[in-house]
Structure 1
């Protein structure tokens, strides 16, 4: 071989005596029961109208058909391939990906990333719920039992780029005090009566700057800069007010981005800092993350959404509304853990005529002997419904002393009845009952207790026990598979919309793998795992 041939970019000219051994038709190399065939068949039947509308009718024709590119992307997520560069590599080397492309040119990583970020935004929800409807049509999903769970997944943001609402509010308050002190000096010097309001601070400061600049022109004062230059009093006031104005504009930007949250990340402003179960420093450090909610039935993910809340309490209602709006179906039974328990959620499910299987937050405590022996607990007191009063362990009555209202983060107002003991003086059990100096007082939401009791009776019934066991297997099991088997512990994209697209593709892949496994294992038509009998 000549040495100069090694510099040739076309390696086929080396002619080392190899012959073509692969068949021209890759069809023969793909097994008949391969999951790629199932994926192609199901995705071929979906409606891609919204996806094609994302492309301009007058622009350049896409290099790869959008429907085919969506198949490729979904199959990549089925096989734990998430990076656009790795997907491009798979399209060049993997026979299954080549078969999906069907002779189309291999898309490069930028085409794949642009398709996932820009073109799928308005179409991914519709495509996902079309697949859920397909699962319903083949009898795998009955829209009967919805198992709900949530988890936190780390955002693609720097860990130490946090902005805290408490710190912003503190600094903003300090600056407002400094502004007032500066305005007192300005009013005293120029005999003005400037004042500022917190709600219109930027506008007020702009008016003051305008006055000071006009004053500069009137007195023909030239502002100086640099070392050794002595600034006039007017220049110092002007620079201070301008600095305050810039800082306030920055604080306003922060407050707008908080949007009800206590923190956000500078590198992904949609991400909220949350406590993670595991982290790189092993000390429960706060990290930027998203709260991912899923609904599972028959082991398939039938609904998902992304939230910025640090807990699950206020995600249930918007999650169910989104699912119902997309599917046009309403689930009969809602099964969730104690993190979703609230009076607002109970009443919403009752209004929707959906059976509630939410575990009370104190359910595990109720089983303990220490709780049953605690005389300070309301559950251990006798209640007389006719007189509306509780009787403590010492025989004293706690009677209604007033009614107050409590407002939740979502704006829901609950009515709280305040009960007060008639006389706690000289009670021998007082130390075990209350720490207050006066009579024992107790706040009770009657409506919440009533709805909690209904949910408690539901989960402790024979059907409720079966559903609770299946929630642990199906909903929590789905997250276990996605995080551990699929190794998906951190998003690759930034922004709530892009993150939702990314996780919905993962749900697509999960559902296809689950359907494929159930077909191969002959488990079709078995939505629930039965309880083990002794």
Structure 2
């Protein structure tokens, strides 16, 4: 009796349990009013020249950047963010297969590289195209812009924070210690490396090199361990190495922070800020991002992500960004009391934009006592 492998099925053998199936037309299975069709049509009409320029070469048998853009946007529309889950959806979901247009499903690494290396540099340009598309279709007013924001917590560790204030304090203290140390080396070893009373990193490296040369000339033996007495030169070299390493670390931390006041070691783009959800009720700072949204006629026309811990400093950069990329200069700007500041009022007035910013004391002024005071003053 012939045995058949039921795991590796041989379709050339006619059996009752298995039969060959022809490919189905996926287009027939998707409703005419499905959002996936609208998404595909909009992306097909977009100019993706900048996106294609981020590639050095595109293989003919691989998924095109246009198709990758479609599946990434559609995945986000359906709350699918993991590159591995997007890969699985491309293999099982007919809507994703429709967007691929018969091409093979990309693997998760291709999707991850597309989002970080290719899509991220041109995302503002693509968003501006969509906003202009809405403007051309008269779907938005181009006059009233409603702005609001939210803070999204990062997946970074909450206890890996680095503060700029602490770094600057430790750095200034260390520079004072370095000045005393360099002066001591001049007195103990007669080595002078500093001129005009300015200490720089290359001065410390030069001093380290001369100390090592001096240790070789004097045949100094470096010792380690308990009960062994270190020479004066060895102590100076070890201490100088610590200063140089700490100076490198502080310089690197300040470079990573840039204009931010803090960053997380496990997510260097995140900034520590207070969140609305405070379960411990102790004002704990968490690594997060401040995401701003601009809405016009119920469409999100612009989005920005920044490190600002408060909304006050986000308004001006947000308005400048949307005007730069889309060319829209909204005549009316509406926002809540979190955006109220003298600087924002002056900017909107100079830019000839009418502001509708809720005042921070609006709720207080509605109380009975404050109303009575205001009436008395009017009288």
The TM-score, its normalising length taken from structure 2, stands at 0.88
Cα shift at 1:145: 0.4
Q: Could you tell me which residue of structure 1 aligns to residue 203 of structure 2?
A: 204
**Counterpart secondary structure, 2:328:** coil
CA distance in 1, matches of 2:10, 2:280: 48
Q: Could you tell me which residue of structure 2 aligns to residue 410 of structure 1?
A: none
The alpha-carbon distance between structure 1 residues 231 and 324, as it changes in their structure 2 partners (threshold 3 A), is same
| Unmatched runs of 5 consecutive residues or more in structure 2 | none
Q: Could you tell me which residue of structure 1 aligns to residue 27 of structure 2?
A: 27
| Unmatched runs of 5 consecutive residues or more in structure 1 | 384-534
CA distance in 1, matches of 2:196, 2:85: 55
CA distance in 1, matches of 2:122, 2:91: 27
Which stretch has the larger CA shift, 283-292 or 190-199? 190-199
The alpha-carbon distance between structure 1 residues 380 and 342, as it changes in their structure 2 partners (threshold 3 A), is farther
Q: Could you tell me which residue of structure 1 aligns to residue 321 of structure 2?
A: 322
The alpha-carbon distance between structure 1 residues 78 and 22, as it changes in their structure 2 partners (threshold 3 A), is farther
Q: Deviations over 1:12-52 (max 9, x none)?
A: 68956255778621122111211111111222111111111
Q: Could you tell me which residue of structure 2 aligns to residue 464 of structure 1?
A: none
Q: Could you tell me which residue of structure 2 aligns to residue 55 of structure 1?
A: 55
Cα shift at 1:256: 2.0
**Counterpart secondary structure, 1:314:** helix
| 2:316–2:347 CA contact under 8 A, matched in 1 | yes
CA distance in 1, matches of 2:80, 2:286: 24
CA distance in 2, matches of 1:221, 1:113: 55
Q: Could you tell me which residue of structure 2 aligns to residue 116 of structure 1?
A: 115
Q: Could you tell me which residue of structure 1 aligns to residue 46 of structure 2?
A: 46
* Pairing 1:239-388 to 2, within 5 Å after superposition: 239-278=238-277, 283-371=282-370
Q: Could you tell me which residue of structure 2 aligns to residue 225 of structure 1?
A: 224
* Pairing 1:132-531 to 2, within 5 Å after superposition: 132-183=131-182, 185-190=184-189, 200-278=199-277, 283-371=282-370
Cα shift at 1:226: 4.2
Q: Could you tell me which residue of structure 2 aligns to residue 434 of structure 1?
A: none
Cα shift at 1:197: 9.9
CA distance in 2, matches of 1:161, 1:269: 10
Cα shift at 1:275: 1.2
CA distance in 2, matches of 1:367, 1:77: 42
Cα shift at 1:315: 1.2
Cα shift at 1:279: 5.7
| 2:11–2:20 CA contact under 8 A, matched in 1 | no
Cα shift at 1:346: 1.2
| 2:144–2:332 CA contact under 8 A, matched in 1 | yes
The alpha-carbon distance between structure 1 residues 221 and 275, as it changes in their structure 2 partners (threshold 3 A), is same
Cα shift at 1:351: 1.7
* Pairing 1:92-107 to 2, within 5 Å after superposition: 92-107=91-106
CA distance in 1, matches of 2:18, 2:207: 83
The alpha-carbon distance between structure 1 residues 348 and 16, as it changes in their structure 2 partners (threshold 3 A), is farther
**Counterpart secondary structure, 1:27:** helix
| 2:39–2:70 CA contact under 8 A, matched in 1 | yes
| 2:140–2:296 CA contact under 8 A, matched in 1 | yes
| 1:151–1:291 CA contact under 8 A, matched in 2 | yes
CA distance in 1, matches of 2:3, 2:228: 71
| 2:145–2:296 CA contact under 8 A, matched in 1 | yes
- CA RMSD for the aligned pairs? 3.1
| 1:277–1:284 CA contact under 8 A, matched in 2 | no
